[in-house]
Amino acid sequence: MKLRIHQFDLPLRHTFTIARGSHDVQPTVVVELEQDGQRGYGEATECEYYGFPRSRIVEGIELVRSVVEGERLEAEPVRTEWLDDPAALWMRLQPALIDNPFALCAIDQAAYDLWGKLRGQPVWKLWELSISTGRLPPTDYTIGIDEIDVMVAKMREFPDWPVYKIKLGTPHDLEIVRGLRRHTDAVFRVDANCGWSADETIANARELEKLGVEFIEQPLPPERWEDMARVYMESVLPVVADESCITERDVARCRGFFHGVNIKLVKCGGLTPARRMIENARKLGLKVMVGCMTESSVGISAIAQLLPLLDWVDMDGALLLSRDVATGVTIERGVCRYPEVNGCGVTLLGEGD
């Protein structure tokens, strides 16, 4: 087993602005695991908000390098445990990376991609899921905060999209949504990224419902649980947790405060815990969404393996880039297309160099 670390600066199509700030380039880390001529890939993007600069992600991966590379595939028919089930590797690494889920996520994704490639099957198929196109939720396309005419222009670059996700958190949020609504009949979702108060959320929801908004994502800061309880009871639109739902233990806490949870692989530590979070959310009667960071097709293709399990998905990260570093799933007007490649379907551009 060989573990390699690739670091990239992903250039964005446009300056991307949310309530917390703006950026033009997204640093990211891609893990490569190679065994028997097959290569699996996983990704974790830098996120200063959660305290994970790229250097910390790399340090976490290096911390467990010897464990990962020591798990060699022996002569047939003997196989190491995690090559039969990547969740076993996650369980072995999690104690060492309990404070570094971003590093754990990149390795976990790579392990699943390699697992599928070694078995000659896509991951979704090995999980016994179906990707019948008509039953998969469409992904939204995200419009970052900007002047309204610029936001309209961004939306027109991806016309006829079934769902747009609009980043909000300004003094002019309703004006923004009204301005965009004049140019499309698509479903809207809005994400305030913790930028509103409870009163604002309840009042805005009444107007946003009239404007064809489906739900509001994380309107309040994550520590405002008492206020979220009031929003949950009084908002005419569903509210979905993002910053309030990071790890597995957060799912149960969101019940009675949110109508659904947005699971992000880097925050929870990869595909292994994400599947458990989805199952737990279902048992609690919560809707389930999986979201992305601004990331390459490596991370987006991992998310795609979960699509049959979801109500909503936000997997447009690679569409926000002016240049990708990999190929994998593609998205056409919100519809995910799977490649004829096993595992998660990822090929790193320049693979084999």
Q: Render each residue's pLDDT in the chain as its tens digit; 353 residues.
A: 999 999 999 999 988 777 667 788 999 999 999 999 999 999 999 999 899 999 999 999 999 999 999 854 444 443 456 678 999 999 999 999 999 999 999 999 999 999 999 999 999 999 999 998 678 999 999 999 999 999 999 999 999 999 999 999 999 999 999 999 999 999 999 999 999 999 999 999 999 999 999 999 999 999 999 999 999 999 999 999 999 999 999 999 999 999 999 999 999 999 999 999 999 999 999 999 999 999 999 999 999 999 999 999 999 999 999 999 999 999 999 999 999 999 999 999 987 44
Q: Would you say 143 and 112 are in contact if contact means Cβ atoms under 8 Å apart?
A: no
DSSP 233: H
Give residue 177's pLDDT.
Answer: 98
Give residue 285's pLDDT.
Answer: 98
Q: Would you say 316 and 332 are in contact if contact means Cβ atoms under 8 Å apart?
A: no
d(CA 336, CA 92): 32
3-state helix, strand, coil in the chain (%, to 5): 40, 25, 35
Structure tokens at 63: 């911390």
**Domain at 2-121, CATH class:** alpha beta
Q: Delimit the domains of the chain by residue range.
A: 2-121, 133-344
Q: Would you say 192 and 168 are in contact if contact means Cβ atoms under 8 Å apart?
A: yes
* Coil vs helix vs strand at 99: coil
Give residue 77's pLDDT.
Answer: 41
Task: Tell me the β-bridge partners of 288.
Answer: 261
d(CA 60, CA 100): 6
Give residue 19's pLDDT.
Answer: 66
Give residue 22's pLDDT.
Answer: 78
Give residue 15's pLDDT.
Answer: 82
Structure tokens at 23: 């950026």
With CA atoms as reference, report the closest residue to 239 among 267, 274, 198: 198
* Amino acid in the structure at residue 266: V
CATH topology of domain 133-344: TIM Barrel (3.20.20)
pTM (two decimals): 0.94
